[in-house]
Structure formats: C-alpha cells, structure tokens
A and B are shown apart, each in its own frame.
Chain A
C-alpha cells in the first residue's frame, strides 16, 4: 500500500489567515492526489483532484500543488466555514486507495 502522511495533524488559525497543509506519499504518485474537506457529522467533500484542479463550486481561496511524493493544500483568507478536517487521498492505485490521517483546522 502507498502510505499517505499529512502534516501537521492539527493547526489553529484565525479568520483571514493563510494556511498550508502538507501531504507526503511513500512513493511517487505523479499528480494523482486529491483533497477532501470534512465537517463534523458530514460526509467528506471533494475539494481538489489531480493535485491542483479545483472541483466545481469550490472557492478559489483553495489551491493545491505538488507532484511525485509531496503535495500542499493552501487556503488563503480563511473563512469561518473553512474550519474543518482535511484529508488527502492518493488515486494512483485503483485497487489500493489510501487516505492521509487528516489535518484538523481549528479557530484560534
């Protein structure tokens, strides 16, 4: 299996801040990396696929970058609704999909 490691596991920020979350893969996955947002009691929501492509309807303050083994999710001008848990997911192996452990973003 390809292991996905996110850092940090949690972070605190304020409305208006810019934050970054890193996701590292245990082997190269090209740009086959996807990001999800999950709020308490809700299903995950697809934010970004193929490392940097914004899913339809997702605000432009979200952006993704990276390739190979290191990827970054950035959120600029944090809004109250952005405080949630974020997961990365490798889509390189169709028969062995794996997720990162999640990064919890709290209000400072």
Chain B
C-alpha cells in the first residue's frame, strides 16, 4: 500500500520561499511508471493542480503559477520536493502530494498524502 506524507513549515513569510517534502513509502519512486504530483487547496476552496515530477527529474508545472514552482525528486530518500518562490497570502493552502496514475490516456490521482497546511503571513 503506497503512502505519502507531506512535511514542511506551516508558516512562511510573504515574499519568501515555501519548501515542502513528500515522503513516499510502500513503493519506490525510482521504479518508474508513475508521475508524482502536487495539488493545493486554498481554505474553503477547490483543488488546484500545481504540477508533476518523474523519477528521471523531468517536471511540468501549472503555467498559472508563473514560473514560481520548482519540483524535484530524491530517489535515494524516496522523496519529492516542492518549492514556491515569492509567496503571497494567495499561496496559503493545504498542499497535497499525490501519485498520478494513467489508464487508457486518462490521468488521475489514486494515492494522496494527508496534506499539510501552509499559511503565508508576516
């Protein structure tokens, strides 16, 4: 059973960089076959896809985040990481990591972490 667990500071100051880690257990990121995604949910709002990363290091992020996102993988630790630069209050959200599955050209998220709340405030 794959399990994901996000971790990182719960409070980040405006204009600084938000940094989160997602630890994966029950499966190896480096075994391939899956892309690993970050998704966030602002308080009381819906879900916003941030981007994905692959064990090879290839990444793709949502253009709406205007290049502020960096994602990476550490296969030795079986971890993913997310950095969002120049944060504002609009980046306050619960951040989830999730495994992206693919079936017949359809992409969906079958395993999710519990999420971690990040608040941007001075």
Size of the chain B interface, CB-CB below 8 angstroms: 24
Q: Does A22 contact B (CB under 8 A)?
A: no
Stretch among B19-27, B66-74, B82-90, B103-111 lining the A interface: B103-111
| Majority secondary structure of chain A interface residues (helix, strand, loop or mixed) | loop
Tell whether A34 pairs with B115 under 8 Å between CB atoms, given A49-B103, A87-B47, A100-B46.
no
Inter-chain contact B112/A50, CB cutoff 8 Å: no
Q: Is A18 an interface residue (CB 8 A)?
A: no
User: Out of A30, A34, A43, A102, which one reaches B108, CB within 8 Å?
Assistant: A34
A99 contacts B108, C-beta separation under 8 Å: no
Range class of the A interface residue count: 20 to 34
Residue contacts A-B, CB under 8 angstroms, 5 given? A34-B106, A43-B114, A50-B106, A91-B107, A97-B37
B residues with a Cβ closer than 8 A to A are: 35, 37, 46-49, 52, 60, 62, 96, 101-110, 112-115
